[in-house]
Amino acid sequence: MNSDIDSQPRAIAHQKTPRNWHQIFRKLTPYGFLSPYLIIYGVFGIFPVLFMIYLSFHLWNPVEGLGSMKFVGFENYILGLTDPTLWQTIWNTLVMAVLSGVPQHLVALPLAYFLVMMGSKARHWFTTAYFLPYITSTVAVSMIFYVMYSKDSGIINAALAFLADASWSSWIFGGLKEVLPLGWVQENGLIRYSVSFVVWWKYVGFNTVIYTAGLATINPDLYEAAKIDGASSWQRFRHISLPLLRPFIFFGVTLTIIGNMNLFDEPYVLTVGGQFAQTAGKTISNYLYQVAWEWLDMGSAAAISWILFVVIGIFTAIYFWFFGRKGLGGE
C-alpha cells in the first residue's frame, strides 16, 4: 500500500517533466531566432566598445601582438588632453563643422519650400537631382573636387583667371591676378573653406529631402487660409512652415552636428592624407587615424576616440538643452 502511495508523486513528476521542458523551449525559442543578430551585434558592436575602453588604459603596438600590452592608467588621456595638436584638430573640426553645417540648413530650408511650392512632379525630379551627391561615394566626390581645386590645372583657378582677364569682369576679379593660382587645398588659409564647401555640396541635398518630406506633411489648407488673409509667401513660410518644421529641423541639425564632428574622408582625400594639411585642414578623426595607423599607438588612439565621443556628446547635449523641447514639438 505504501509503495503505491510513494509511486504516485514520482509518476506525477514524470508527467510534469516533459510539460516543463516544453514551456522552457517555448520561452527560449524567440531568443533562438534572435541569436544570430545578438551574436553578430555582440562580436562587432559591444565587444569593440568594451575593448576600446580597455585599450585606452594601455600602451600597445599591434605589430608586437596582444602580449605587448602595458597598463598605463590614465596616461593616454593625460597625454591627449595636454597635446596641442589634438586641440588644434578639435578647433579645425569645429570651424569646418560650422562653415559647412550652417549653410546646409540655410540653403536646404528655403530650397525645400520652393520645391514644394512648385508641385509634386517638379519636386520629385529636383529632389532626386539634389539627393544624388549624398548617395555618391564620398571618396569619388572628394577626388573630383581635388582635381577642380588643382593649383595648376584646376577648373576653378582657370575660371578665375579668365574672369580676371575678361574686359567685362576685370573690374571685379582683376585683383586676383596677383594671387592666382590659388592653392585651395595646399594653403592653410584656404583649406578649411575648400573642405567645408565640399561637405556642404554633398549634404545639402540630404537636408533638402528631410525638409521637403516635412513640408509635405503640412496641411495645404493652412497655406490657402493664410493666402486668403493676405499673407505673403515669406509670411506663410515664416509663420506656418518654420514652426511646423521644428521636429525636422531638430532631427536634421542633430545629424549635422554628429556627422560634421566626425569628418574624415573629405579632408583626408583633399589634403592627400594630410600631406597638405599642416595645421588648418586636419580634423580630430584624421589625427586619430594618424596616431593609430601611422604611429601604431593604439592606446592613445583609443583615448582620443573617447575624447572625441565626449566632445560630440557635449555639443549634442548643449543643442538638446536649448532646442530639444521646442524641436520635438514641446513648449
Are both 85 and 130 inside the same structural domain?
yes
Quote the cell numbers at residue 80: 591627449
- Please indicate, yes or no, if residue 179 is contained in any of the structural domains: no
Longest CA span, the chain:
122
Are both 24 and 124 inside the same structural domain?
no
Are both 207 and 121 inside the same structural domain?
yes
Indicate the pLDDT class of residue 66, thresholds 50, 70 and 90.
Answer: confident
pLDDT tens by residue, 76-123: 999 999 999 999 999 999 999 999 999 999 999 989 888 888 776 777
Are both 137 and 207 inside the same structural domain?
yes
Are both 16 and 99 inside the same structural domain?
no
**pLDDT number for residue 118:** 78
- Please indicate, yes or no, if residue 14 is contained in any of the structural domains: yes
- Please indicate, yes or no, if residue 278 is contained in any of the structural domains: yes
Do 203 and 134 meet the contact criterion of CB atoms below 8 Å apart? yes
Do 101 and 197 meet the contact criterion of CB atoms below 8 Å apart? no
- Give the chain's domain count: 2
Are both 15 and 91 inside the same structural domain?
no
Do 328 and 247 meet the contact criterion of CB atoms below 8 Å apart? yes
Q: How far is CA 246 from CA 35, 228, 239, in A?
A: 39, 25, 12
Domain that residue 276 falls in: 76-149+184-327
What's 273's domain CATH number?
Answer: 1.10.3720.10
Q: What are phi and psi of 231, to 5 degrees?
A: -75, 135
pTM of the model: 0.83
**pLDDT number for residue 167:** 84
Distance of CA 329 to the CA centre of its chain: 24
- Please indicate, yes or no, if residue 262 is contained in any of the structural domains: yes
Indicate the pLDDT class of residue 234, thresholds 50, 70 and 90.
Answer: confident
Q: How far is CA 283 from CA 9, 87, 88, 89, in A?
A: 73, 10, 8, 5
| pLDDT over threshold 70, residue 27 | yes
Distance of CA 302 to the CA centre of its chain: 19
State the average pLDDT over residues 298-321: 91
pLDDT tens by residue, 146-199: 999 988 888 999 999 888 888 888 888 888 888 888 888 888 888 999 999 999
CB neighbour list of residue 195: distance below 8 Å, 6 or more residues apart: 96, 100, 185, 263, 266, 267, 270, 271, 281
Considering only 7-21, 28-42, 45-59, which range has the smallest mean pLDDT? 7-21
- Please indicate, yes or no, if residue 8 is contained in any of the structural domains: yes
Are both 125 and 214 inside the same structural domain?
yes
Determine whether 1 is exposed, middle or buried from the number of CB atoms within 10 Å of its CB (0-12, 13-18, 19+).
exposed
Quote the cell numbers at residue 197: 564647401
